Amino acid sequence: MRQAGNVVHQVLSRLGEMVAPGVTTGELDAEAERLTRDLGADALFKGVPGRGGPFPGTICISINEQVVHGLPSERVIRDGDIVSVDYGCRLDGYCGDAAMTFVAGEVSRDVRRLVSVTKRVLQIAVESATVGGRWSAVAREMQKYTESEGFSVVREFVGHGIGREMHEDPKVPNFVSRDLLNRDILLEEGLVIAVEPMVAMGRPDVRIEDDGWTVVTKDGKPSAHFEHTLAVTADGVRILTDGS
Ligand code: MG
110-127 pLDDT, tens digit each: 999 999 999 999 999 999
- Distance from Cα 158 to the centre of ligand 1, integer Å: 8
Q: Are 222 and 201 in contact (CB under 8 A)?
A: yes
Name the burial class of residue 39, with classes exposed (0-12), middle (13-18) and buried (19+) by CB atoms within 10 angstroms of its CB.
Answer: middle
- Distance from Cα 133 to the centre of ligand 1, integer Å: 22
- Distance from Cα 160 to the centre of ligand 1, integer Å: 6
- Distance from Cα 162 to the centre of ligand 1, integer Å: 8
Across 37-49, average pLDDT: 97
- Distance from Cα 173 to the centre of ligand 1, integer Å: 11
**How many angstroms separate the most distant Cα atoms in the chain?**
48
- If DSSP codes are grouped into helix, strand and coil, which group holds residue 7? helix
| Phi (first) and psi of residue 168, to 5 degrees | -125, 170
Query: Please, which pLDDT band fits residue 220 given cuts at 50, 70 and 90?
Result: very high
pTM: predicted TM-score of the whole model, two decimal places? 0.97
- What is the reported pLDDT for 44? 97
- Distance from Cα 220 to the centre of ligand 1, integer Å: 23
E strand segments, 14-158: 42-43, 59-63, 66-68, 82-91, 94-103, 152-153
Instruction: For the domain covering 2-239, report its CATH number.
Output: 3.90.230.10
- Distance from Cα 161 to the centre of ligand 1, integer Å: 9
Please spell the DSSP secondary structure of 143-158, one letter per residue: HHHHHHTT-EE--S--
- What is the reported pLDDT for 4? 98
- Distance from Cα 48 to the centre of ligand 1, integer Å: 13
- Distance from Cα 172 to the centre of ligand 1, integer Å: 10
Beta-carbon contacts of 241 under 8 Å, excluding residues fewer than 6 positions away, are 5, 6, 8, 9, 12, 96, 97, 98, 227, 228, 229
- Distance from Cα 109 to the centre of ligand 1, integer Å: 28
Across 18-47, average pLDDT: 98
Continuous segment of H or E residues that includes residue 223: strand 223-225
- What is the reported pLDDT for 65? 98
- Distance from Cα 242 to the centre of ligand 1, integer Å: 15
- Distance from Cα 38 to the centre of ligand 1, integer Å: 23
